Chain A
């Protein structure tokens, strides 16, 4: 019988002051082994000082088919950007 070992997503913080960033995934029976495996697989050369592991099944992702509805409206709301507003040069840097 083939048993499947759960999949985990691995996030690493390269150094203090930076956010944890997704680096890949791995299989492990539980969170303790997932952390140990993440250390061996993803931090062999000082890639970080902190690891998060999250069960892949716990992640809810947005649907790429709805990417247009979800994210395109931001492109035509140019008034959300500072360059949309005309301020005379005389005012100085703002």
Chain B
């Protein structure tokens, strides 16, 4: 999802069977694991990577929408979009804090993002070409994020679960404001409706890819499920998302760009056409249309902000020294 079924995870671990069994017993009893508790190295590594990827996704995710803030069509839309993008920044910060409880520093995580070592969700490497994309992203991308994040509120690692509860409370506004934008366009002039349809055409498949590879190709899923980091498989979440979204598109009179999409009475869900996994892996590996721009923008923000960080620390030091001198 925002960690895309954990790309490049490594949850191998080498503790004794007794230790692992003791840990698993706590997990099975639905006990939360807190930062200072003993935990298998693989569990720690998986969480550092997953929470880090999730945090980076929130932060990079501010860019495609930030692109439209100054061009929002009304003050109402501008205020909402600004608030949404600010929320995403907040989500990134809650998540970085959760990862830091596992002994990784904010600076290390930032460096990994800027060097390209750490991944973030492939969805943010697509361009936002029209205003309708602000609607579609809220509706589909935040919608898919919600599907993934609700079960993460019950993740076995306490700080991650707590961060997710805060995030989930805020996400519902994101999806609703997005759907409202798409609805306004879909009920507008033929040109506006066409703009909404074009946007849905471009974002539908990348949104499905947000859930990560099919279960059969998702190597780290089983261990993450056993450790209750994950509660549903990639395919289960994708299916839930499709089933929830198709009627919403029908309500708008928009067409989902999948000729194979059809209701399957037997399974009580929709069947869908094949996903272009070559595209998925290309984008995940950093060859998405906007990948270079995203990292360039983050690097610029980090570099241009260096003097501010240094000045703030120098100022704090000066105040501290003055206070000591006055005592």
Contact = CB atoms under 8 A, between A and B. Distances in A.
A and B found bound together: yes
Interface of A: 2-5, 7, 24-30, 33, 40-41, 44-45, 61, 63-65
Given A28-B312, A30-B316, A40-B86, 12 more contacts: A2-B107, A2-B111, A4-B106, A4-B107, A5-B309, A7-B100, A29-B315, A30-B319, A40-B90, A44-B87, A61-B36, A65-B38
B249 to A, nearest CB: 30
A31 to B, nearest CB: 9
Contact of B310 (A3, A40, A45, A61): A3
Give 5 closest A-B pairs by Cβ, nearest first: A29-B312, A30-B316, A29-B316, A25-B97, A64-B36
Contacts, number: 54
Given A61-B36, A64-B36, A64-B37, A30 B315 contact: yes
18 contacts: A2-B111, A3-B313, A24-B94, A24-B162, A24-B166, A25-B97, A27-B106, A29-B313, A29-B316, A30-B315, A33-B312, A40-B90, A41-B90, A41-B93, A44-B86, A45-B170, A61-B36, A64-B38
Contacts of A41: 90, 93-94
Interface of B: 34, 36-38, 83, 86-87, 90, 93-94, 97, 100, 105-107, 111, 162-163, 166, 170, 309-310, 312-313, 315-316, 319-320
Residue of A2, A28, A33, A63 most packed against chain B (CB within 10 A): A2
Nearest to A24: B97
Given A29-B313, A30-B312, A64-B36, A4 B100 contact: no
Contacts of B100: 7, 25
Contacts of A27: 106
A24 B167 CA distance: 13
Given A3-B309, A41-B90, A24 B163 contact: yes
